[in-house]
Structures are given as structure tokens and as C-alpha cells.
Structure 1
């Protein structure tokens, strides 16, 4: 990835004294980045846990939950380590081992058995080297890491939902219920049934689906995120209703495609978002959770980002970079947004949905269709797409994009190689640097993405020269994507949808 290790050095580990201070003060900045095992109880906790403070000599500190479990500690039933925020992709790009963790997490969502040799090939290394660097970085083997992820997900589903235990095991990636029960009891010293009985009040199965809470590290500017999502409506697929944001979604599952709808409601008091997923999406719940975290940038480390951007005037520390729920969908919207206003780009996308999207029944007003698949877009005639008001050069770009995705030449997801993905995009007709940088920012979750030719960025920086904008932005590496959000929000009127375009390969405020 372009974000080099030298430009983005890893955060040094805390010494025991500093780690214990974080535990004493319940410092939320270290939530998900620090876990404490208490030798007198055999339990490990998050630094925000409100149980009685253990003595320092009884504490062992770990950067990952998998390391705590490998050392024999079981998760706290009060602070629940499975609820801790994850790490943003900037951490994942620092080493091959972190990139491997991102890829493994994606694979375990759709496959019970993960072949490490195939993972190694994807990363361009030998299996032996993959195992060695993974152990060195994460402190556990890939298999131990995967097992911990699956068990913590199962523990969460047992505690927060009323899903049958068989479905919990399957959703968490265990093909055998017997093995799941045995492994759960071996690791956590209680059975899945007994865990559920200990916290019966936590079972919350909504009539319309499953509800889960996804946390963030404060501060979080919820209004800015809602404004961004609501200001770029995709009719038929997305809707703001009853104080929440809703959308339809289709995902690959172990037994075939999973389709349905979801809702997101911010809860600032609990420092997180309430996710409601329809029954059709429950088999793909790990994917749904991961994609929501990416969409809302829930795993960002705001203190690190704010420190790097503190020189920006009127910097808002709670701003997050809006991601996406589907990389293909968002890339299509970015292409449709070239050289037009935000409102015009949304109109073109809505026409595409109405003509090519499959119907999807939902209880939410305005949610009627799924976004068109790559197959549908590739197989639609040029004349049909032209009737929607899409110009020929955009049609060529969209159909080339769909073909590249279907042929496996393009990976539009967080964790994909930024260099390889942008090179593949640039090889397609009608795609230039602005489009590539917006894809890197929103789809690939690259925190250093910077669309230097964006009209709003140039206006905010007081220049018409992209090279000058690049030079000014160097001071914000490796967090330039967050600087872009600061620049956009720092603009005065006119509203984004009223700004004219001014570059052959961009639209002023990223319509997607």
C-alpha cells in the first residue's frame, strides 16, 4: 500500500505502568487496543471495565484479545471484550501480518475452512513466512486468531440475541455444533446454554430481525455522518426514516446469497450505533457488522487523527470518513458523479436502481430494490443505459468496471491492495485520479487518500492548482482522508449540491 511503514510507524506498546494507568482511569482511547488479564481470577477485561480495580501485580497486559485467550484467560462477562472497537485499516496496512488478518477476517465470514496456503498466495508470500510473521505480529498463530474471533462472535450472539444456539454456531463459522460446544466450554469454562442462562435479560430478538450494538471510540460527530448519508440519497436502496438510516443489501453467504435490509440508529449516550438486521441477513451477520463498521468508520482512533490534524483551522475531532456497504455500488456511484452535481449523480444512480435493481420487500417506506449486480450492469445494452441519461463514456466505464469485478481482476473492499486496485481502475476507460482517490477513500478505507483535484478541496485550500493542494496536504500524512472531511465541512455556502464541477474527472463533493 502507498502508506509506508516509515510514514506511518506502529504505535509503541505501553509499558505496564502506563497500561495500568489506562485501566485505572478507564481510558476509552485504549479500548480495543489493550486488554488486561487478571491472574487472580483468570479473566481478561477491556480498560473501560467498571469492576473493582485489580492489583497491578495481578495484571498482565495484551494488545489483542487472542493473546489473552492464548494465555489462558477467559473474557469478562461484564465489560465483554467482544464489544471493543476494532483497529482501523491504517494499522492493518503497517505490515503483512496485519493485511493477513484483514483477509482472514473476510474469508472466515463466508467459509468454514480457511486454507492458509491460498491466503499466502493472495498475499504473495509462502505459507511458512505467513505463519512466522503472523505469530510475531499478533502473538498467536492464524488458527488461534481465527478461533478467538469466532468464539467471541458466538459469545456476543448468545448474549445479545435470542438466535437458536445451532444458528449461533453456524453464523459464527462452526460447521459442527458438537465441536462448537466443546471448544466453547474448553475456552470459556461454561457451555453456550449456561452463558445464555446467566444473562437472560440480554436476549433481544426484534420482531423484524436481530439488534446489536456496535461501539466507537469517542468523540464521534454523529450529525456530520447523518448529513453525509442523508445528503446523498439513493432512492429505492436507502432511506432516512424515524430517526434512523435504512438500506437494502445482498451479500454472499455460505449457503448462497443473503438478502434483506438493515437499519442504523446512533446512540451517543452508549457511544455506538444500534444495528437492526432483517432475518434474511442473519446468516451473513459477521459481514453485515464488518461493513457497518467500515461505513461509519467506527474503528478510527480519533485521538491519533486529531493530533496529526491539530494545525487545521476549526478542526472537528469527531469527524469520521464515510465508507460504504458495497464497494461495487459505491464505485458505480463515484463514476456516475463525475462532472455533475451531487444531486444529479444521485438521480442517475436512482434511475439505474429502478431499471436494473431486483425488488426487495421491506417494512421501511422507500426501500424497494437492491442495487444492480455487476452481471446486470454488464449485460444491459448500451441503448438501455443511454435511455437513463448516462452518457456513453460513463457507460463504457461502468461496464468495464462490472466486467473487471466479475472476472476477479478488481477487489473493491477494505484490505485490498491500494496500489494494485488503483492500477486496475486506471486501466479502465473513463477513470482518472479523482475517481481513484475517492475509491481509495470510501471503498478501500485508505486513510491517506487525497483527491487533490476535487473542486471543494481546492476551494477550501484557496488554490486552483492540484499540485499546490498536494504540497499543502503533505503535513497531514498519513491521515489526509480525514483532512479532506475537515476541508469539506469547513466550507461555507453554497451547499455541496449547488457547487459547479470544474475538473474533467471529478464532481465537487463526491456524489457517492
Structure 2
């Protein structure tokens, strides 16, 4: 947790770099805010800092209506840390507590539920139930303010077990009823409609999708859109539009159904914007939290460019590269299994296209623009005739299907790395690349002509970002991402 003096100085200067890193609670008002809140700065003796919104809520504070502290980027700490708490926070953000409960979270981590609760409470001020509750409330607020769904549908779509629990939580966190929270928007929103493939009884979703603003810190370099355009898996992903006004689109296989995500490239019109425009079309709105987190991981939206620059900028080799692209991200993956399969195929569209056509699941309701399929599930590839699959896909698919290899958000990165290297045809470079992208590890080093392992040690814990800058500055980049 940040020290009191540094925290208060951030609040006094309204420093947006700390939004999501900690939250400011004011005892005299009973409200908690993000550090950059434009309200009058409270006296230091009246301020308490909390590492999470859930901790502030648990202490009895309600969210500020002016700065909306729940709508901030996530703390970059959880992507850096590889310990139990870091892994737990990544899984909770992915929605596992709502789907499988605390017992399911503990089972994924390999600890008892009591141990998980104790460590989370000690470090972030809230247990897994409270953290998941705060996340549900945020999802509910988004649905209330961006769709015309009935309040009852919003409650269950956000993951609440009952309407009463939903109403009580929203009043406690936002000091308003769900009806009062519902924003009055200009114009007429699209009528709610169930898309093709929606499960019976699933909450209806607006035909145009749920519009979202995915917050990030600092500038955002659009290089990731160029990378996604080069690597797009035919039928599963596409990038439309011209540079400066591109839109990334893809299909998503989600816990409750199918989804389509669209994210717009930040253009000159956005200036120094702090978000990416996104639209999610989901067969079941209970997948909202999971879909949002998968897109955040893909576009690396919880990164802290200032912290990266503070370390890498001291290196004479990297300093001019950071000045050239100050908002360069290290993209992750919307589907870790898909990323791993594509990586062992060197991410060549001609190789992945045949795999999708032969084993992918057609998109319910037919094609949507250039999107036609869901990427083949690991169990589907594992059950296929191995002689028909390109190597080393069969061994990788079998390891993913039987759990020998785990690439979910809470995976143990060292264990996953060892499991990858044990597979035939997967070398150190490919394993490291999968670790960097599929597991979102910010501290992976892969051999480059520009630097040795010894030199790269000074770049910890941001070696993945150093590689991104080096690859962006060299014409041949690397063996997988070469145009």
C-alpha cells in the first residue's frame, strides 16, 4: 500500500496516474473517491487510503457520484505479482467467484478457502466475496446506465443472487436505488433484443451491444491495432477501417454463451483520452464482467506507462524508444488457449485459417461481417485425428484439455512455463512468448539482437515492455510477429 504522504500529495495534485492504485476515503463525508477527483481536496487528517474499492465499501464508504471511482483502470500490481494474492485478484476480475464461488477460486489456486480469504483480507482489505460484490455493482451500474434492460434482468445479469441483494448493494455503494442510478440518455437507445445463440431464459442484450469505455492510464499507442491486424485469425478476428480509425472485432467463447467484441482505435480526435471505446454483444449478459476483463487483458489496459518509463528510461538504448512511443503496451490475449495454439503455428493466418475452418464452431446465427467462427476449443482439437493436425498442436491441445497445462488468469506462471517446455515441439522462445501474451506476464525476456540476458536484468520487472519497444524499432521484429 502507498504511504500516506505520497498518497495525499497525489490527491492534492489530482494525479490520475494513481487512479485504481488506491482509493481515498473521507471520514467527514462518508465518500470514497479516485485520487484525481475534481472535488475540493479534503484535509489530510480526514483521509484514509484503501488499496481497493471493496475495502473502502467494507469500511462503510459510498462511491463518489462525481468521479465514479469504480470506473478506473485496475491496479497494475496484480499483473506484476505472481504470488497467491496476485493470482487470486486476476481470477476474481475474470468473474470466477460469481461462477464457481469462493471454493472454486480456492481450488484453482491450490489453497484452502480460509487461506485465500485471510491473505486477501490482510493485503487488499477485503475478502473474495467483498471483491466480487464490488465488481458486480460496477457491472450493474454499467448496465443500468447504458441499456434499457428491466432492473430485475440487470440484477441477475450482473451476478447478484437476488433482487433484494442487488437493491441493498446498490443503495449501500452508490447511495441511490437502481432506478435513480439509471442515466437519462439523449435519443432513443436500441430496443432490447436477444441475439442468435442466446440461451433460453438468458437476459436479453441490446441489439447494438453494450457500449463501454475501457479506462487506461496515460497515452495509448495504437501499435497494438497494427499487430492485431497482421495476426488476425480469419473468421475469428478482423480489423476494419484505415489506420487512425480502425476497429478490432472478434468472437468470444464465454462461460455462459457467445459474444462479439468491438474496440475502436484511439484517433487524433481523442486527444489525450483515457479510454478505448468498446461494444460488447453477448448472448448472455452474465458474461459482461468476463468479456470486459478479457478485452482489458488483450489491450493491456491496466498498465502503468509512468512506472515502465521510470525503469526503462534509464537505459540509453531504450530511452529514445520510450520518447518515440510513450504509450506502447504489451498486449495480452482474449483467449489464452487460442493464443497458445496460434503461437506454436507462428501466428500465420494461412495456418490458423485451415484450423478454424476444419474445427471451429460456426457463429450462431451466421456470419457477422468477417466473423464466422469461434476458435476451436482445446477439447475439440484434442479429440481430433492427430494425424490431421499440424504439429505440435495435438500435444498442446491435449495438455490444455486435461489440465496438465493451465493458462487461465490465475495460473502459476512458472509451472505453466515448465509444462510448455515439456511439450514436444515447444522451445524456450515459444514458451516465453506464450507466457508474455497468454499469461500477461510483464517481465518476460526473449533473445534479441539488441540485448543479452545480463543487460535485460536491469529492465525488471518490465522486460516484456522493453521487448515491445525493441521490436517496434526494428524492421524484422521477431519470428512470430514479423509482417
Band of TM-score, shorter chain: 0.7 to 0.9
Match of 1:6 in 2: none
Structure 1 position 368 matched with structure 2 position 372:
yes
Match of 2:340 in 1: 331
Report deviation, 1:208. Answer: 2.0
Report deviation, 1:212. Answer: 0.7
Report deviation, 1:131. Answer: 2.5
Alignment partner for residue 295 of structure 1, among 284, 287, 298?
Answer: 298
Match of 1:320 in 2: 329
Task: Tell whether the 8 Å contact from 1:89 to 1:445 is kept in structure 2 after alignment.
Answer: no
Between the aligned partners of 1:137 and 1:201, the Cα distance in structure 2 is 43
Task: Tell whether the 8 Å contact from 1:239 to 1:245 is kept in structure 2 after alignment.
Answer: yes
Task: Tell whether the 8 Å contact from 1:266 to 1:272 is kept in structure 2 after alignment.
Answer: no
Match of 1:504 in 2: none
Report deviation, 1:203. Answer: 9.0
Alignment partner for residue 164 of structure 2, among 169, 178, 183?
Answer: 178
Between the aligned partners of 1:354 and 1:490, the Cα distance in structure 2 is 35
Alignment partner for residue 190 of structure 1, among 164, 176, 189?
Answer: 176
Between the aligned partners of 1:318 and 1:356, the Cα distance in structure 2 is 37
Match of 1:499 in 2: none
Alignment partner for residue 42 of structure 1, among 5, 10, 30?
Answer: 30
Q: Mapping of 1:209-248 within 5 angstroms?
A: 209-222=209-222, 224-242=223-241, 243-248=246-251
Report deviation, 1:366. Answer: 1.6
Which shows bigger deviation, 276-285 or 91-100?
91-100
Alignment partner for residue 442 of structure 2, among 425, 439, 447?
Answer: 447
Report deviation, 1:292. Answer: 0.5
Q: Mapping of 1:429-448 within 5 angstroms?
A: 429-448=424-443
Between the aligned partners of 1:20 and 1:261, the Cα distance in structure 2 is 41
Task: Tell whether the 8 Å contact from 2:345 to 2:352 is kept in structure 1 after alignment.
Answer: yes
Output one character per residue of 1:365-399: Cα deviation in whole Å (capped at 9) or x when no partner: 321222112233223324543xxxx4xxx1xx211
Between the aligned partners of 1:415 and 1:307, the Cα distance in structure 2 is 27
Q: Mapping of 1:255-270 within 5 angstroms?
A: 258-267=257-266, 268-269=270-271, 270=273
Q: Mapping of 1:343-382 within 5 angstroms?
A: 345-360=348-363, 361=365, 364-382=368-386
Between the aligned partners of 1:91 and 1:336, the Cα distance in structure 2 is 26
Task: Tell whether the 8 Å contact from 2:340 to 2:438 is kept in structure 1 after alignment.
Answer: yes
Match of 2:149 in 1: 163
Task: Tell whether the 8 Å contact from 2:259 to 2:283 is kept in structure 1 after alignment.
Answer: yes
Match of 1:425 in 2: 420
Between the aligned partners of 2:32 and 2:380, the Cα distance in structure 1 is 49
TM-score (norm 1): 0.82
Name stretches of at least 5 consecutive residues in structure 1 with no aligned partner: 1-11, 462-468, 497-506
Structure 1 position 408 matched with structure 2 position 412:
no
Task: Tell whether the 8 Å contact from 1:309 to 1:315 is kept in structure 2 after alignment.
Answer: no
Report deviation, 1:248. Answer: 1.4
Name stretches of at least 5 consecutive residues in structure 2 with no aligned partner: 191-205
Report deviation, 1:364. Answer: 4.7
Which shows bigger deviation, 292-301 or 263-272?
263-272
Question: Residues 97 and 478 from structure 1, CA distance in 2 versus in 1: closer, same or farther, beyond 3 angstroms?
Answer: same
Match of 1:21 in 2: 9
Alignment partner for residue 118 of structure 2, among 129, 132, 147?
Answer: 132
Q: Please give the secondary structure, in 1, of the residue aligned with 2:165.
A: helix
